[in-house]
């Protein structure tokens, strides 16, 4: 049986973590075993107390916040699955789309799959124009250096075969949201087969808990340069 490792970085997500985990466990994936790894990245709102009441998950606790990159790296270190998938804890991405994301890898055509919020006809919440423009710019800039033609480099949904994560999991350096361009650069340098599939997106506002900001966008420009040209 194929094992899927689902890495969930979580920081102060007490309002969504229980529902998210319920949705993850409820996803029907015939002949695929799920390994759920939640990395609590120094939460102070009670998230880790909730996690301790939920069975069937592997919990990694960071005493201090290390950022999304640090949490994802910790998850990669714990993953034992044949395929590894990154899932945010905030309900912006729908676990019911796992089968769609896994299909190119399971069919033997892909080593890596990105879930794009900018292709397909699935529902997408209308939110911030500036976020849309920043994402498009960062994706284009990343593509210029990687040679890819991705439409959504910053997507949460990135899926890797185990051989791909084994090739870089000990090398990852980004602590915060720079992990997205770093992963993309490392995938490009590994010359892995990359596919992109359309997904839905149920984005949230800052009042609802969204954390990324303009500083992360500026930092991403440097990370794109750094990991494509100097690493």
Q: Report how many domains make up the chain.
A: 1
Q: How high is the pLDDT of residue 131? A: 78
Q: What domain range includes position 133?
A: 2-229
CA dist., res. 139 & res. 7, Å (int): 23
CATH number of residue 217's parent domain = 3.90.550.10
Per-residue tens of pLDDT for the chain, all 231 residues: 999 999 999 999 999 999 999 999 999 999 999 999 999 999 999 999 999 999 999 999 999 999 999 999 999 999 999 999 999 999 999 999 999 999 999 999 999 999 999 998 787 777 668 878 888 999 999 999 999 999 999 999 999 999 999 999 999 999 888 999 999 999 999 999 999 999 999 876 767 666 666 677 788 899 999 999 987
Copy the structure tokens of residue 107. 């069919």
């Amino acid at each position: 049986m194929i094992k899927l490792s689902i890495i969930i970085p979580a920081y102060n997500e007490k309002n969504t973590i229980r529902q998210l985990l319920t949705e993850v466990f409820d996803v029907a994936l015939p002949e695929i075993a799920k390994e759920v790894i939640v990395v609590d990245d120094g939460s102070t709102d009670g998230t880790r107390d909730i996690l301790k009441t939920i069975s069937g998950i592997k919990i990694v606790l960071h005493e201090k916040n290390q950022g999304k990159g640090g949490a994802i790296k910790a998850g990669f270190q714990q993953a034992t699955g044949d395929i590894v998938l990154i899932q945010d804890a905030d309900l912006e991405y729908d676990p019911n789309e796992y089968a769609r994301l896994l299909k190119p890898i399971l069919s033997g055509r892909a080593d890596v799959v990105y879930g794009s919020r900018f292709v397909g006809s699935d529902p997408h919440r209308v939110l911030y124009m500036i976020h849309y423009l920043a994402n498009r710019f960062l994706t284009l800039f990343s593509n210029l250096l990687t040679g890819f033609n991705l439409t959504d480099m910053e997507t949460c949904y990135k899926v890797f075969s185990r051989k791909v994560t084994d090739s870089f999991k000990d090398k990852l350096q980004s602590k915060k949201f720079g992990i997205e361009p770093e992963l993309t650069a490392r995938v490009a340098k590994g010359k892995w087969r990359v596919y992109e599939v359309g997904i839905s997106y149920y984005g949230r506002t800052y009042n609802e808990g969204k954390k990324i900001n303009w500083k992360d966008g500026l930092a991403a420009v440097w990370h794109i340069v750094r990991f494509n040209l100097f690493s």
